[in-house]
Amino acid sequence: MRIILCGFGTVAQSLAKLLVSRSDDLYAKYGIMPRIVGAFDTHGGAVEQSGLDLNRLVEIKKKFGSIKHYDKSKKKWSGLEIIKNVDADVLIETTASNYHDAEPGMSHIITAMKRGMHVISVNKGPLAIAFPSLMELATYNQVQFRFSGTVGGGTPILDYAKNSLQGEQIVSFAGILNGTTNYILTNMSHGMSFAQALKDAKSRGYVEADESLDLDGFDAAAKLVILANWIMGMKVTMPDINRTGIRKVTSEDVKKAAKKKMAIKLIASCDKELVVAPKEIPIDDPLCVNGTLNAISFTSEHSGTQTIIGKGAGGTETASAILRDLLDIRKEILRD
């Protein structure tokens, strides 16, 4: 399987390491030999039809800050040039999410699909802004489109709802889908002020460069868009989400809730309406997880309410979600 890798940050580097460490196992168990034939970051990229040396790629990135230095003798490639000119089976999109125009991820995905490549995205931006039309584009071009890593990191929330609950009608769901705000709210319940808790979260590297993405609920809303489309069959995008962040939650609110054995959490819910907002939930509800954990409760017609809890982020975890998507695409191709 020939792969083009867009972006070379934490997740992509974890993926490169995972592919190296598991190459024997992947071939033996699943019969796949993934080859990264092109990869790029903001500054430029590298191409090698027989497969880039992944250890070297990680080293170069560490040493020079960009993988464009991978092979000095060769042509300098930009990201879109690679996607337009290099033949590959799968594009893996890992550049940063933004919710204005979702670029450059949006162009990467659209260009790849039009060229007949299957796409795996862990970038939420394009999905949040244009889920319904991207699915249409994938169907039209007869390619697979997968995005397990966008919700729950390594916790297979999307797959659980779609496949493990096959034949069931999910009637509603509610989740804690942003680890950063959950960490802040948990610390506030331990006595910190909002400002202190935010500072602590920043010092641990939990907060996005643009803190608004976490604090104002954009990240949770993007995940809600993805869940609503993929699981509930709704055709919605970001503007359809009624979104409130956690900036106005005070220590006073948190204390008041605690007295009632409740906790304030940023809840993304789908039940008639699509809402992201701070809400009080009982502390003994399975959904009420602490720290950076994510959790989601699905209520279905016949199987009651089921909750899945796991780490919602992390390089290796998200890379393992990409690997699952890759195996899934492989399975779908063989089935055709």
Residues noted as catalytic: 223
Beta bridge partners of residue 304, listed in sequence order: 300
According to the binding rule CB under 8 A, does residue 305 interact with its own copies? Answer: yes
How far is the CA of 32 from the CAs of 26, 28, 217, 237, 282, in angstroms?
A: 6, 8, 38, 35, 46
202 annotated among ligand-binding-site residues:
no
Nearest-angstrom CA–CA distance, 228 and 172: 10
Would you say 138 or 309 has its CB closer to its own copies? 309
Among positions 159, 214, 216, 219, the unique one binding its own copies when judged by CB under 8 A: 159
Nearest-angstrom CA–CA distance, 268 and 303: 21
DSSP 49: T
According to the binding rule CB under 8 A, does residue 317 interact with its own copies? Answer: yes
Nearest approach in angstroms of CB 159 to its own copies is: 4
Would you say 259 or 302 has its CB closer to its own copies? 302
Would strands 242-243 and 262-271 be described as parallel, antiparallel, or unpaired? unpaired
According to the binding rule CB under 8 A, does residue 216 interact with its own copies? Answer: no
Nearest-angstrom CA–CA distance, 122 and 294: 17
Neighbours of 241 (CB within 10 A): 22
According to the binding rule CB under 8 A, does residue 56 interact with its own copies? Answer: no
According to the binding rule CB under 8 A, does residue 172 interact with its own copies? Answer: no
Contact predicate 14/318, CB 8 Å: yes
Nearest approach in angstroms of CB 22 to its own copies is: 9
According to the binding rule CB under 8 A, does residue 23 interact with its own copies? Answer: no
According to the binding rule CB under 8 A, does residue 290 interact with its own copies? Answer: yes
Would you say 115 or 162 has its CB closer to its own copies? 162
According to the binding rule CB under 8 A, does residue 41 interact with its own copies? Answer: no
Among positions 16, 143, 323, 329, the unique one binding its own copies when judged by CB under 8 A: 323
According to the binding rule CB under 8 A, does residue 292 interact with its own copies? Answer: no
According to the binding rule CB under 8 A, does residue 20 interact with its own copies? Answer: no
Would you say 126 or 153 has its CB closer to its own copies? 153
Instruction: Give every CB contact of residue 105 below 8 A, 6+ residues apart in sequence.
Output: 6, 93, 95, 97, 121, 123, 125, 126
Mutual angle of helices 23-30 and 10-21, in 10-degree steps = 70
According to the binding rule CB under 8 A, does residue 48 interact with its own copies? Answer: no
The residue count for binding its own copies (CB under 8 A) is: 44
168 annotated among ligand-binding-site residues:
no
How far is the CA of 87 from the CAs of 19, 32, 90, 103, in angstroms?
A: 20, 18, 9, 22
According to the binding rule CB under 8 A, does residue 164 interact with its own copies? Answer: yes
| Cross-sheet strand order for the sheet of 2-6 | 44-47, 35-41, 2-6, 90-93, 118-121, 145-146
Residues flagged as binding site for NADPH? 124
Task: Catalog residues that contact its own copies under the rule CB under 8 A.
Answer: 18, 26, 30, 153-156, 159-160, 163-168, 284, 286, 289-290, 293, 295, 300, 302-311, 314, 316-317, 319-321, 323-324, 326-328, 335
Residues flagged as binding site for L-homoserine? 208
Residues flagged as binding site? 124, 208
